Structure 1
Amino acid sequence: MLYTFCYIPSYCWIICTVLSMCFRAQRANSAQAVEFLPKTVTQLYASFISNILANHCQAGSIDKNFLISIGRMAEYGVSNQILSFTKDDLETFNVDTSSHLATSFVIESGQPPHVSYSFLHLTIQEFMAALGHYLDYSPEGLQKALEEAKSTEDGRGEIFLRFISGLSDSSTRSLLKPYVGDLSAPAAKHVISFLQKSIITLQNPDNRKVLNVFACLAESRNKALVSSSIGSNKQFQFSEFYLVPLDCTVLAFILESCRETELLDLGTCFIQTEGLERISAALHTVRDLRLTNNNLRDEDVPCLYSILTHRQCRIQRCSLRNNGLTETSCLPMALAVSENTSLRDLDLSKNKLAGEDFYQLLEVLSAPTCRIECLALQEAKLTPEYTESFLSLTNNPNLVSLNISSNFFGDAGYPHIQKHILTHPSLREIRVGMNDFSEETERNLLQLQRHRSDH
């Protein structure tokens, strides 16, 4: 999360302010520092605002009414896409710019009579808009704000919704308690109810809307809400939808909260290394995991190994089809398959696996104890010399489906493939087409496959 923000100077200032507080606390109490580290964007901003309020507490008590007023003005600006406010706007919302506290939130620019006022950053404006509802809770006002923010098509209400969802978490609100007292618990319950209804009413929407709701749930840190609303055995289909790293962080929280997921399809989502690292902690909870065409590389295989060897791994089907894996990936994948107890279906098609290390993977897949039932090695750059080694797969009593089509076996590899088809005790389906066979060999293979299926 911090890495995503660090390209923007304003975020750097906010992040460094908060982390400096953590480092100072670390010198005093290391355990407290770890607990203090922000876990969500809302906590980051709550810590930043609490630091501002702490500095002003030294000069006297915090004027809660000022925070309510500036929160209302902030929300007015967010909902109407206003970043620059006039003197009349400030008077309308009773914001006194002569207050020392005001200068920590609002900056003045221009020369009289053309003076304007703006928040230090749009995200601070959005956070204060959300905070205002917890300082002065009105059921009608909060419901209206939530509905309006949700209904905006241009995304102007997204960050406001994430902040207001994040403040529903009691540990996040506690960061501000020393300076403003208890924030409204009824407001938190109201927001939680709104989030729950938002999940229930998700009827085949676009993926971005789904992820926006998921982001609010992640900010709330309410795993019980996610679990009760989404439930277990959920299917998440994001195929061909571009996921940024922050989306992967959000999905990780959702998967952890659900605990058990039937299907997660991330095919052609371009998650690459960073996305995989962010979501990896929760992937072991998925039964059917599809990571097809994500530009993963050999250096990502250790991460895949840790997922597949997790002691609570539930993955039964794993598709790594059409990534950038080479023979270097074969050894760690072999170790992962040998240690995993749940995997039944493995698709490594369209990866350049040919090489000496491929034999080690094949050895594991051929073991009598191997649980793999369906194996796909289509278009894996395999040549005739590998066909003899495929005979060892007859030792795997669980293998029922084998796809080795679209390689380069040619007629030279036919005798071993023929023997494999005839002797494998459990194989029900084998795909060997598009392997540079002659027409005669193609006919022979077709007859063999028909003969095998008849028996």
Structure 2
Amino acid sequence: MNQAEDPEDGVPPSEAPLCGEHDSQTKAQRCVTGMHQRPGPGPGPSCVSMKSNRSMSLPLNFKDVAPSVDASSHQQRGKSPEPRCLSMKNDQSIDQWINFKDGRCSYDPEEDQESSEVPTGPSAQHHQRHLDSIFMLLEENILTFVKNELKKIQKFMSSDYPECLEKEDEEELDEEQRRSREAFVKISVHFLRRMKQEELAERLQSRLRVAVCQRELKSDLKRKFQRVFEGIAKAGNPTLLNEIYTELYITEGGTAEVNEEHEVRQIETASRKPARPETTIRQEDLLKASAGGEEPIRTVMTKGVAGIGKTVLTQKFTLDWAEDKDHQHIQFTFPFTFRELNVLREKKFSLVGLVHHFFSETRAAGICRFEEFQVVFIFDGLDECRFPLDFHNNEIMTDVTESASVDVLLTNLIRGKLLPSARLWITTRPAAANQIPPDCVGMVTEVRGFTDPQKEEYFRKRFRDKKQARSIISHIKTSRSLHIMCHIPVFCWITATVLEEVLKTREGEELPKTLTEMYIHFLVVQSKVKKVKYDGGAETDPHWSLKSRKMIESLGKLAFDQLQKGNLIFYESDLTECGIDIRAASVYSGIFTQIFREERGLYQDKVFCFIHLSVQEFLAALHVHLTFFSSGVNLLSEEQTTSLWSKVFRDKPKPKRLYQSAVDEALQSHNGHLDLFLRFLLGLSLETNQTLLRGLLIQTESRSQTNQETVQYIKKKISEDVSPEKSINLFHCLNELNDVSLVEEIQQSLRSGRLSKKKLSPAQWSALVFILLSSEEDLEVFDLRKYFASEEALLRLLPVVKASNKVLLSGCNLSERSCDALSSVLSSQSSSLRELDLSNNNLKDSRVRWLAAGLESPHCELEALRLSGCLITEEGCASLVSALSSNPSHLRELDLSYNHPGDSGVKLLSAGLEDPHWRLETLRYEGTAATDHQSGRGGRAGNLFSVPLSAWLIRP
């Protein structure tokens, strides 16, 4: 600002006198006189001490300042003697500048007696001139500051929302500048009150409290979230979130329906989805989106499997808000976790009280009317909620100051009964998504984890050495199971931790290829850290001591018991049930901090968990292995409950029975919750893996025969027509046992081109499915005729059809059974099918009805359907029109050429084309094509064939 400008410019008239007056004194004299002289006669001059700040509290005496400054008060000051000098020697007088309590300065001239002598002679004159120039500059700076701040305050008071004053500045304000600004606002409040402007004073003071509260809340959240621990805390070695954060792949759309499949299965399904344009959404846009209307979406649910990055996503969102990088349309962000809320499930709070409880800054500021602000509540980890969310029977509440249990507060907040103006963001694993009614959720998003390029970006950030990063990325690509698991960010961290250690300490050694090898190395690395860091041992000492073995055994028991119950989060009561002493658990979480962690919530309640479900499953498998080979007890068999059997079993343990019972147990699981556990248990049977855990595992004698028997047992199960998902997991189990014979046999037939001439066994069919699902090329376009153009082949390869983008089934003799199977694929939530060619099959109307049942499913996203030459009449057309009316949003191309739709069929299709909800762009029949080039939906007149006009169907 130009300092020569009128200092009253932009300031309300009633406040203009605060900027200063003009008289015949010099600026320095005027400043010192106005600041230090009381009205009326006063004592002689006293010196300005430059050595302290104590006298800085002297200048303003609000009790003696009239609401408006007039000429008489100016004249009164003019009669005063020469100015007294301020002491600069010490800091005592700083607090005397402004005394809000009684308006009087507590200055005592005797305190500055030592510094009250005024220099005389030329040096005194020089000193005075120097002092005059300093105070002249000081006055100009103060006037500039006052003018600028009053402008900001005026704008601040006239805005719709009480944004922080600091936001007007582009540069960062330091703490001293903030305090100066807040002090000036307090001065302004005081003057407004002296001017009888009580309402303005109260509004300004209230908004100041809000601004200060917001700043303190942001500061607290910044401290909490700016540093994170990959995996979990490396003691004393946190990482800046902004340095390691890698953008996640988040898709918009979908439903909050439950998915109970094992999350590794879900990841495998996601990894097979062909690359295609999807509606993606960036983290910073999650709460800006609207469902096509002007009003923003109130509640967003974000789904994702454990470890996929949901929590880090919420932390990044909160950190960006706290650092003023994004989301500044939001006044308050309140991040909660269900882990923290669980410990309050027996207590009662009002909504205001709950916020005050977790965010003390709001309580200190006395903020209770949150409806006046744009507020975002984040609730992370719905799947960890341990209290019922009864949306049907919980009482309805609308008063934010009324107390109730936490579950009642949440159901009313989510339903919009409490604080309807608030925005909500809820994260959950897929299995718990249905705990909230669909009508309470405005938008569902899904965190898919890392795409392939994002995986590579993570490892390049993690390893600064480019050559090392390339080597690791290349290695991961060679192992299908590792590559799939790296969709999960926490698994990328585990992999990086292991490979970094192996490359550093075991140069030239083969890198781990299977999941079991990876997790064994991970456990060994953590044991080594514990030994060196906590036990003071050397790196060459044995990894396992008696104490560390005991710890792992205890953690393994906890992992297995809680896996059986389906728990990922444990409380003190859960540990006690497993026989783990609470004090010991704290020691475990402190030592094996990368594996098992302890979190402290409010009231110092402790929450325990493993860093990821896969770590819990590995330790559970390790516990079953240790128990069997140390005591002969098979924890997966009911025989352990019979003492006689137990005795016999302990005398002659038979590993074959352990592994076979594990396979049976996993196959009986309807959702595959033991799939990964089974892979780990079988992997631990290999002698090479047991060698890696020497000192922890009892080294079993060479059991190659047992392993071979287990391989044969698994192949037998594959031959028994188990579900495709279970069959695929059994092939992963064979990989863990280093047996790829079945897969190699089929691959050889594929390479030689002899596969279509062979009659395959059920096991060979399953192997073919496994091979095709592991091949990204075969999933882009799947042509059944390359293998076997038969109904049996279609039914056997249905998982491949489901995972493919484009499927060609022309001339494959499809029956009603085939159409029923295809209908189930079309209606599957996890289907990737977008183009389906069924031309030249005698489907007729009856089989089209089966297909129509799949087309009308809300999960069906088919974009092109070709039914040329399928003997379809008006009845079949009616079925198709009915299906498209139910689900009109996706199908863009329909080929009904060389069929018999008749006049009624044509009319039905014509009426459908006029429906604005239909997305159909191209319709073909009777060997002709009609393309919508008028609707603006992508059709082009150049696509029209030269055909009779009567054969065209053109959208109006």
- Name the TM-score, length of structure 2 as normaliser: 0.24
Which structure's CA Rg is the greater one?
Answer: 2
